[in-house]
Amino acid sequence: MLSKDLLQDLLERTQENKNKAEGFTHLPLEILNWKSSPDSWSILECLEHLNRYGDFYIPEIEKRITTSQQRPAETFKSGWLGDYFAKTMLPREKLNKMKTFKSMDPVGSKLNMDTLKKFLSQQQAILNLLDKSKEVDLTKTKTGISISKWIKLRLGDTFRVVIYHNQRHMAQAERVLQEAGRLSAV
């Protein structure tokens, strides 16, 4: 795949995530914190979950881009593990449920508009990093991952995992909003 095509796709996905989150800024806190059941997530819990991953990945990606000696390459080749992780993150009609790590589970957190502001700030940071990444090789530049210090992914795959994961939970947040809307209409 051409590196520029991958970056353009990821840029568009991130901008879409940001636009959807901006739509949430007009909602009252009671809707943002509403959940259909005690073990489900609210809109803000979906965003807090993503913020926690962003707290790891944004500095990690920035550090790797800044220190990379790898000049840009025209093409990106996904690694088998990175491709697998990325594909499992893509939103689907019927999502395969995944258990999250306790440290990344936002249930029970006291959340307010700061959670949403932080998510929007992180999306802008990702847009900036996508732009900076045009200066490095997306295949040869490697990043650490949140679940293991021994596994490294190609930068292009790391971006895919993070951005697809964001899309997945933005779709979840939109479903929560639809459910909340149905209840208030009754």
Say whether 41 sits in a helix, a strand or coil: coil
- From CA 153, how far away is CA 155, in angstroms rounded? 6
**Residue 153 β-bridge partners:** 143
Name the least confident of 35-39, 75-79, 142-146: 35-39
Q: What is the pLDDT of residues 114-168, one digit of tens each?
A: 999 999 999 999 999 999 999 999 999 999 988 777 889 999 999 999 999 999 9
Check residue 150 and give its pLDDT. Answer: 86
pLDDT category of residue 186 using cuts at 50, 70 and 90: very low
Domains of the chain with CATH codes: 3-185 (1.20.120.450)
pLDDT single digits (tens) 160-178: 999 999 999 999 999 999 9
Angle, CA of 171, 173 and 175, to the nearest 5°: 70
Burial (Cβ within 10 Å: 0-12, 13-18, ≥19) of residue 149: exposed
Q: What is the pLDDT of residues 41-75, one digit of tens each?
A: 999 999 999 999 999 999 999 999 999 999 999 99
Q: Is 95 helix (H, G, I), strand (E, B) or coil?
A: coil
